[in-house]
Amino acid sequence: MNSPPNAPKPVAAGTFSRRDMLGIATTAAAVAGVALTTTQAAGQGEPKAPAKPPIRESLKAAQAAVKAVEKTIIKISREVWDLPAVGLKEQEAMEVHIRELEAAGFKITARKAGGHPTAFIAEWSQGMGGPKLGFLPEYDALPGLGNAAEAKVKPAANGKTDGHGCGHNCLGAGCTGAAIALKAMMEAKKTPGTLRVYGCGAEENVGAKVFMAKAGLFDDLDAALAWHSAPVAATGTVITSANRKIRVSWKGKTAHAGNTPWDGRSALDAAELFAHGVNLMREHVEPTARMHYIYEVAGVAPNIVPDEARIWMTARDATTAKVNATVEWLGQLGEGAALGTQTKANFTLEIGMPEMMPNETLAVRTLEHMQNTPLEWTAEEQSFAKACQKAMGLKEVGMATQTLPLIREMKVGGSSDVADVSWKCPVALFGWPTLPLGVSLHSWAVTACGGMSIGDKGSLASAEILAAVGYDLLTEPDLRKAAKEELTKRLDGRKYQAVQNIDPKSWDETAKRFGKSPGEEIVTDIEWK
Ligand SMILES: [Zn+2]
């Protein structure tokens, strides 16, 4: 992609080692985490921030608009933090967003959007023929990551074991807050346009964006805007991997494993044969491929030949085409394992996401606003962050205080359902600190920081940045055009194809499985279908 004039100097993807890349968990965290790991490994502490561009009027207006709804944004973040529930079970958190959006004058145009249990759409518009922008709040929590808003491992006061270890309380508050603030900015200037807030439920297990994309609900957008909690402030063209989530099950025959094993046919044997095959496959797939699996069902007792076995796995690769080839091979492997053990295989491709179509045009504009958004922490906040780092055995360097240079064309192993949206319209995406430097997402410290002023500051700053980029998009036809042209160029004629074959009858089981706590065995209460 060509760089726009005055584009900040990018960080070349080649600067990062493969090991750095492997350390990344989720989308925007990837943006942040990779760069951070590199600089820390080099022992340089925080990298130098690039020179600040002049502040735009849109950011000044966004700062004032966010200030006016500050209480609402913090209320959303804290309330959602206090109502942690895993994906598909997070109705209460979703209702917090719906309530505040309705109060701000948005109309709820869809519940269970795209057929997803915890997705919704809220909309507001004024004038005729204006651009359409989408905001992508998430609000699901993670199992086992409930924690008090204190700088140590301590159960939450609400007694809940689920917790916002991925910062989705802040993420959601920032996105919904930005939409509410931008509405006020548009009203003040009589700017025509439509703002749509897509409630992106269950990001961690059965991402609603895939469902809404499949239903074509992003098709008419000019752009979508999102951010993610991260240890650093960063944006750029980060390309997450395409993935496919698969369940393979085998049906065999029980028998007494001591007396008459010849009467049985072990489904577990088939699963083991399959898993061995996966591990042999690794030699013959490209280094960008990832395959990870767990045994979900593996028998009941050793003296019964297992008649049921099931593997749940994810395959990933740099592109949709490559991951599709892997899936085809895995299907053959499942059948082969059944043949070899005289069992029957059932191979289900449940859900998948494409690789991300990043947008440098929007990343460059987003970065400008990020560089003009202060990252200031009180002494108490820095000592809170350092105490978390100490408790986790990390370097006590506190919170990030500056925005990183643009990250360009970096491929990472993780995947995100933001990618589904990114094939439909240009997406502005960035990472912003709500957790201390060096801390991984999906950890207790993210929950802790998200429930106090560090998380609140992230929700507010992200809302300002998103509202400013949103206002630029509404008022600058050239920016919209450039972003769209870049997407067309990156897609290179490829069309979005949704991968979503989840049986709605399996919702409860999926939620239950995801919500199980360590040590809790789920095999025995699965109803075999
Ligand atoms: Zn997340």
User: For residues 81 and 78, what is the distance between their CA atoms, to the nearest angstrom?
Assistant: 5
> How far does the centroid of ligand 1 lie from the alpha carbon of residue 489, in Å?
28
User: For residues 352 and 3, what is the distance between their CA atoms, to the nearest angstrom?
Assistant: 31
User: For residues 11 and 395, what is the distance between their CA atoms, to the nearest angstrom?
Assistant: 24
Tell me if residue 220 falls in helix, strand or coil. Answer: coil
Sign of CA dihedral 243, 244, 245, 250: negative
pLDDT of residue 10: 44
> How far does the centroid of ligand 1 lie from the alpha carbon of residue 64, in Å?
28
With 80 as the cut, is the pLDDT of residue 4 above it?
no
> How far does the centroid of ligand 1 lie from the alpha carbon of residue 107, in Å?
26
> How far does the centroid of ligand 1 lie from the alpha carbon of residue 204, in Å?
7
> How far does the centroid of ligand 1 lie from the alpha carbon of residue 202, in Å?
10
The gap from C-alpha 210 to its chain's centroid, in whole angstroms, comes to 12
Contact call for residues 207 and 500 (beta carbons, < 8 A): no
Report the pLDDT averaged over residues 428-455: 97
- Domain boundaries for CATH 3.30.70.360 within the chain: 242-354
> How far does the centroid of ligand 1 lie from the alpha carbon of residue 478, in Å?
32
**Per-residue pLDDT tens over the stretch 386-420:** 999 999 999 999 999 999 999 999 999 999 999 99
Tell me if residue 161 falls in helix, strand or coil. Answer: coil
CATH number assigned to the domain covering 11-238+360-491: 3.40.630.10
> How far does the centroid of ligand 1 lie from the alpha carbon of residue 228, in Å?
7
> How far does the centroid of ligand 1 lie from the alpha carbon of residue 143, in Å?
13
% helix / strand / coil in the chain, to the nearest 5? 40, 20, 40
With 80 as the cut, is the pLDDT of residue 94 above it?
yes
> How far does the centroid of ligand 1 lie from the alpha carbon of residue 281, in Å?
30
> How far does the centroid of ligand 1 lie from the alpha carbon of residue 268, in Å?
34
**Angle at 366 (CA atoms; ends 364, 372), nearest 5 degrees:** 110
> How far does the centroid of ligand 1 lie from the alpha carbon of residue 229, in Å?
7
With 60 as the cut, is the pLDDT of residue 260 above it?
yes
> How far does the centroid of ligand 1 lie from the alpha carbon of residue 385, in Å?
20
- Domain boundaries for CATH 3.40.630.10 within the chain: 11-238+360-491
> How far does the centroid of ligand 1 lie from the alpha carbon of residue 347, in Å?
28
Contact call for residues 223 and 130 (beta carbons, < 8 A): no
- Tally Cβ neighbours within 10 Å of residue 296: 19
> How far does the centroid of ligand 1 lie from the alpha carbon of residue 474, in Å?
27
Which DSSP symbol is given to 309? E
Nearest one of 223, 230, 231 to 418, comparing CA atoms: 223
> How far does the centroid of ligand 1 lie from the alpha carbon of residue 515, in Å?
16
Contact call for residues 88 and 205 (beta carbons, < 8 A): yes
In CATH terms, 242-354 corresponds, of 3.40.1190.20, 3.30.70.360, 3.90.1170.50, 3.40.50.920, to: 3.30.70.360
Report the pLDDT averaged over residues 364-392: 98
> How far does the centroid of ligand 1 lie from the alpha carbon of residue 166, in Å?
5
User: For residues 321 and 250, what is the distance between their CA atoms, to the nearest angstrom?
Assistant: 27
User: For residues 204 and 145, what is the distance between their CA atoms, to the nearest angstrom?
Assistant: 13
User: For residues 34 and 25, what is the distance between their CA atoms, to the nearest angstrom?
Assistant: 10
User: For residues 103 and 58, what is the distance between their CA atoms, to the nearest angstrom?
Assistant: 24
Q: Say which range, 25-34, 325-334, 399-408, has the weakest mean pLDDT.
A: 25-34
- 256-to-56, 301, 338, 341 alpha-carbon distances in Å: 75, 11, 21, 17
pLDDT of residue 162: 95
With 70 as the cut, is the pLDDT of residue 143 above it?
yes
Contact call for residues 317 and 289 (beta carbons, < 8 A): yes
> How far does the centroid of ligand 1 lie from the alpha carbon of residue 79, in Å?
18
> How far does the centroid of ligand 1 lie from the alpha carbon of residue 303, in Å?
42
> How far does the centroid of ligand 1 lie from the alpha carbon of residue 29, in Å?
8
Q: Considering the chain, what is the average pLDDT of its residues?
A: 90
**Per-residue pLDDT tens over the stretch 502-517:** 887 877 777 777 665 4
**Angle at 131 (CA atoms; ends 125, 133), nearest 5 degrees:** 75
> How far does the centroid of ligand 1 lie from the alpha carbon of residue 26, in Å?
6
User: For residues 374 and 78, what is the distance between their CA atoms, to the nearest angstrom?
Assistant: 22
Backbone phi, psi, residue 100, to 5°: -70, -35
